[in-house]
Amino acid sequence: MRIVVFGAEQRVGAWEGDTIVDLNRAFASYLRERGENAHQQSADARLPAVLAALVAAGPAALDDARRAIEHASRSGSELAPDGGKIVHRADDVKLHAPWPGRRIACAGGNYADHLLGMERHRRGPDVTIDQVAGYARDEGQWGFWKVPDEVAGPDDEVPYPKRTRYLDYEGEAAIILGKRGKDIPGSRLAEYVWGITLLNDWSIRDGMGTPKPLSYAQAKNFDRSTSMGPCIVVGELEAQDVDVETRVNDSVRQRYNTRDMIWGFGEILELLSRDFTFVAGDVISGGTAAGTAADKTPPGPDGSRSQELFLKVGDVVEVSSPKIGTLRNRIVQA
């Protein structure tokens, strides 16, 4: 099932072929067909039209979503009890970021090939990818939180931050958590994954700020510093087997699979949930692999770097995966 957020009301839908099914309205129509009283109220309670509420509603809501999709395939262009459309042409509706509005945790330095390019100047030109992975394991996990008010969706514009000359892309796969939990063993990851999506962790590479044990992670937080979408795949993907590709102006920059993560999603969840309660709708992004502008552009002897591979106003970045689709964004003047 591919879950999207669509339209002016930002309702939850299922992406089926070249159509979008309004799940809440399809389920209300299904209940009316069965002769149930208060069908719209029941649909609102059992299969909410808002993404955060749908995620929190758990497996029962997904069962109802499947019933709604099957009903929509039979009812065609029928209107819902409230007079709204049930089935839309995908090309006719705007897709928004499928972000439940919760917290976003991002793993850092989680692919050895990415680290190899980032750290050759520190480790030396002869360092190997296996050595880099070993160093990363020895030094332990790290990452950062994103704190957006707004997340960019597919085909949304991303403003170029005025404080950078080195704007970078990081195509990533991310999991959406489906229930509340604390002190979660990594072995129980599957119980907590509601779905999987794509994320672009836009990054300022001019410097991460003054080195401190704790920081505000400003290089990772600015307006629309996160893109997400185009959908959340539910029940059809394994978190540790997601293919990801990133293109800039149709040129392939990244191509990898999440099986190559140094720390798997279960390990990240186990670490971050120590004495910390995750809730339904929270997001964990697994980090990025080789091919970013930063790992392909080592600093010169004087510390300067070429801007050639870094993003510029007008560039189009596409992060894609076969089952999830394509998350496309254009960089524009702020």
pLDDT digit string (tens) for 135-154?
999 999 999 999 999 999 99
Question: CA–CA separation, 169 vs 202, rounded Å?
Answer: 5
Per residue in 237-295, pLDDT (tens digit) is 999 999 999 999 999 999 999 999 999 999 999 999 999 999 999 999 999 999 999 99
What 8-state DSSP symbol labels residue 261? B
Q: Are 60 and 139 within one domain? A: no
Question: CA–CA separation, 154 vs 176, rounded Å?
Answer: 17
Helix (H, G, I), strand (E, B) or coil at 284: strand
Question: Residue holding tokens 């050639």?
Answer: 308
Range of the domain at 108: 104-333
CATH code of 39's domain: 2.30.30
**Mind giving me the DSSP string for 110-134?**
-BHHHHHHHHHHHH-TT--HHHHHH
Instruction: Compute the average pLDDT of residues 309-320.
Output: 98
Q: Are 193 and 286 within one domain? A: yes
Given 53, 69, 95, the domain boundary residue is 95
Q: Are 129 and 14 within one domain? A: no
Q: Does residue 299 have a pLDDT over 90?
A: no
Q: Is 45 left (phi over 0), alpha (psi -120 to 50) or beta?
A: alpha
Per residue in 160-171, pLDDT (tens digit) is 999 999 999 999
Q: Are 87 and 116 within one domain? A: no
Q: How many domains does the chain have?
A: 2
What predicted TM-score, i.e. pTM, was given to this entire model?
0.96
Given 95, 115, 131, the domain boundary residue is 95
Other C-beta atoms closer than 10 Å to the C-beta of 79 total: 12
Q: Are 110 and 159 within one domain? A: yes
Mean pLDDT, the chain, as a whole number? Answer: 95
Token pair listed for 90: 């995908």
Q: Are 41 and 176 within one domain? A: no
Given 26, 61, 95, the domain boundary residue is 95
CATH code of 154's domain: 3.90.850.10
